[in-house]
Chains A and B, each alone.
Chain A
Amino acid sequence: MDDITKAIHDYVVREYLEEGDTRDITEVTPLITGGIVDSFSMVSLKRFLEKKYSIRIPDEDASPDAFDTLQSIAALVRRFQQQSQKVGA
């Protein structure tokens, strides 16, 4: 796992798995369709990403598809990092 994926992994484990839940969360584990994260609790994950990576993820981009795996979330983060760099440049 790269740094971004690892950071998201650690947050997901801490924020969403119950104590004693030893499920292995890989880059492709379905988080939303797999019932680990739901649309109600997803808000805190979005806020974590925005704060940690200094990005703004519009609500229309924070879709269940985009948030379904560590891989897709990391891709989303990179996309908005690049966008904010372009704006900054």
Chain B
Amino acid sequence: MAFNESIRNKYEAELEAIRSAGLFKQERYIHSPQFSEIEVEFPVGAAIRKCINVCSNNYLGLSSHPEVIAAAHAGLDRRGYGMSSVRFICGTQDIHRELENRLTEFLGTEDTLLFPSCMDANGGFFEACLNDQDVMIADRLVHASIVDGMRLCKAMQDTYKHSDMNHLEEKLQEHQDKRVRMIITDGVFSMDGDLAKLAEIVSLAEKYNAMVFVDDSHASGFIGRTGRGTHEHCGVFGKIDVITTTLGKALGGASGGCVSGRKELVEMCRQRARPYLFSNAVAPVIVAGALKVLDLISTSTDRRDKLEWNAKYWRGQLKDAGFDLKEGDSPIVPVMLYDAKLAQDFATDLFHEGVYAVGFFFPVVPKGQARIRTQLSAAHDKRHLDVALTAFKRAGEKHGILGLGKKELMAKVLV
């Protein structure tokens, strides 16, 4: 079928509907490496502006670290640019297996399998490991990639209210007739920044004979005393059956993800997970960079310690300034604005003050829950945070929202 005028008009109308609903997403071009300060062209064609970045997943500041870059260069020289193959044909190098072993050790699991991304790990895991005799019981705020992965799997789907352990227990009781019960949660919830109650989840899993799956993408490398993740923070290291995580955030920020956990489950993924079987091996340059990242974070906790300090300082300062924040213990600090238009206007005001942040609104977060999601990095110095704080205060004063609690703020903006 030709892409004729009628088809073109149909798509143009759909895109217009997205624009009219205020949901149209636009890329902003960055003319510098990823870091605490970046050079941004926005809108397209505008003069490049230097900004403090408070919305990247570069939690440990390793995305442009000189030692990581040098290791990636060396990997490029020694193992080439690409594999031109999936893993099981001729796409597995010694360094792929070395990285898998290093991740296994770091995460405290039995085995690990690399995927092109954590999106792919979550997309492939459930179908590979569960069938129609099983049930998947997920927290309602899990990442979209988990929702997609569950939809591809024939096992029964169920959900529990966000972090509600009584509701989870009811669901576990209800599904005692199933062959396998799998509890599914994010370690750190990406939109709210709160941590899963993993100690209670593991305890319920033991009581009701269930397995536990955790996506620790927003935790690996910095949550927990030595940065191993939410399971370390919650005192259940070694007790999680499946951890999926990404190399695309704190662990260098390039791309790639993994399934790590019980060796039989990992082997099932190696045999059956479609994103692993049908997409290229992670490029050698990324593997080499990730190995250096693991060297750096395994020998020192300085970066995660600095990140923790930054997050506490930032949260405290915003709170003192009178912003309404989502509570949490992670470097994700959502500044609640509730209204989608206000969130977009607020982000624009920040940009004019030299601070790069993005408004999040429906469908990324529920209706009436719009916010600016700020994310801290070990690459931030106190100076960056103080400058960003001044910008936030100015924008907050402009919109008359400082000092308003949740109810007053909602009453003011959701009219």
Contacts and interface: CB of A to CB of B under 8 A. Distances in A.
A58 interface: no
A35 B366 contact: yes
B157 A43 contact: yes
Contact of B368 (A18, A35, A41, A43): A35
Given A18-B161, A19-B164, A40 B368 contact: no
A43 to B, nearest CB: 5
B159 A35 contact: no
B262 interface: no
Q: Chain B at the A interface: mostly helix, strand, loop or mixed?
A: loop
B159 A44 contact: yes
Interface string B338-369: 00000000000000000000000010001110
Contacts of B157: 43
A43 B164 contact: no
Contacts of B158: 43-44, 47
A31 to B, nearest CB: 12
Q: Chain A at the B interface: mostly helix, strand, loop or mixed?
A: loop
Interface string B140-178: 100000010000000001110110100000000000000
Interface residues of A, number: 11
Interface in B206-259: none
Contacts, number: 23
Given A18-B161, A19-B164, A41 B140 contact: yes
Contact of B159 (A19, A34, A40): A40
Given A35-B366, A35-B367, A35-B368, A40 B164 contact: no
Contacts of A43: 157-159
Contacts of B138: 40
Interface in B8-62: none
A41 B158 CA distance: 7
Contacts of A19: 164
Given A18-B161, A19-B164, A40 B140 contact: yes
B172 to A, nearest CB: 14
Q: Which of A18, A19, A41, A47 has the most CB atoms of chain B within a 10 A radius of its CB?
A: A41
Contacts of B147: 40
A82 B24 CA distance: 44
23 contacts: A16-B161, A18-B161, A18-B162, A18-B164, A19-B164, A34-B367, A35-B362, A35-B366, A35-B367, A35-B368, A38-B140, A40-B138, A40-B140, A40-B147, A40-B159, A41-B140, A41-B159, A43-B157, A43-B158, A43-B159, A44-B158, A44-B159, A47-B158
Given A35-B366, A44-B158, 9 more contacts: A18-B161, A19-B164, A34-B367, A35-B362, A40-B138, A40-B147, A43-B158, A43-B159, A44-B159
